[in-house]
Chain A
Amino acid sequence: MNQEPLWQIFISASLVNNFVLAYFLGICPFLGVSGKMGTATKMGAAVTFVMLISSMCAYGIHALLVIINAPFLQLISYIVVIASTVQLVEMFVKKMSPTLFRALGIFLPLITTNCAILGLALFQTSKGYGFVQSIVYAFGAGAGFTLALILIAGLREQLEFAEIPKAVKGAVLTLFIAGILSLTFMGFSGLGRQ
């Protein structure tokens, strides 16, 4: 069992090994919904919620699979849990706030295929985190994802009215911003190491 202290897990997941900027997980929604600050924040919250739930479920499933000795079912069972959690969130958002539902659009069901969530479940298993550690890890990863999304959205909003060549607009510009952000996040490396 991994003995890493909780604060270290949190710092590592949110800043040093930021899921988007260091592991390239969750790039699709990152490119898709990072245009507006409001949507980006809500998307981050939705992803964090799904991460927390699926991380808890993944911990339980992993324990069960170890007992029945069927590691090859890991991937399939994780993805099923994630897909059903996303379905739950989708129904919840649709009922509670139809405007947000429309704003997130196709990207809400696409949380299922957000690599950040499956990646989180796989990483926590391979690192051998305990239950509390897993939750902190999920929370840190979600916070890091939201932070990256908000940063990009802020920058993109600022660049909205800048004069840029047509060929650079869209994905190319976002990727350049992401590259520069990724460079700045490298400044955190070494943080939280004992």
Chain B
Amino acid sequence: MTDRTDLRIDTTVATSAPRAARPGAFFERHFGHLLPLPAALCIALLIIFPLAFNLYMSLQTWFVSSATPPKFVGLRNFVEIFGKDARFWNSIWITVEFTLLTVLLELVVGMAIAVYFHRDFRGRGVVRTVMLLPMVSTPVAVALIWVIMFNPSLGILNYLLSLVGIKPLLWLGHPRTALPSLIFMDIWKWTPFMVLILHAGLQSLPLTPFEAARIDGASRWQLFRYVTLPLLRPSVAVALIFRTMDSLKTFDTIYVMTEGGPNNASEVLNVYVFLTGFKYFHIGYASALAVILIIFVFAVNLLLIRVRERSWSY
């Protein structure tokens, strides 16, 4: 009995003595929580708060004027977007079209170039470096140069076409050719990224499967189709995920080159959100559109990551 009490006293002394001696004990105990605290605070301030505020704003209608003060409208913005907003559905369709075409074409062209570079020839280093230039150049500056090149009267592209006897195109100047022109420019700009990843993937492949296949008498096409491609799947998946995320949120080049025009023919969702928010100042409606954009991008990426996990890794 007495022993027990002694013991109890002993323990309290043992735990409270260092606490009194070291003020850092609180620190000691919560070390695991305290260290990531600055990072967590940053994320809360810079990501979670804006997201939550955006969600809150999406339930309001506000035009940044005191003539019509902010008003709570519940889900009415979303009802209007999904029910009545033809421009929204148009921008969704254009976003999908733009993303699918750019990513797939960049993959095909990028693969071809990566395979071509995957052998020895003189000046390979130089060519590879030059190849990367479109990717590392500033998007807005490059877009402005492309605007001049696309100009139907003053631009070089129509001049080049005239040399081979093709009639001049309107490029960005017609609803039917504006989006393909932007896709063309995007392919020029981002194919090097595909090349970079695929080329790195090619260089890391083991040599033995190739040797085995060659001994079995596989043709070069068969080598590529049945050995290179399957082995390259993880690299392809990574490249696809990165490019899809990027392509879905393309804004700068499109905004600079067409501002979504002519007549919304190249207006991706991102541009529509921006114009609604920062040109028309419909802050509530733009926030609602932004919420949809976030969900859209998130869903597509989740899908891609699932696909990658299920069937693209070995």
Decide if A and B are genuine partners: no
Measured CB to CB, the residues of A under 8 A from B are none
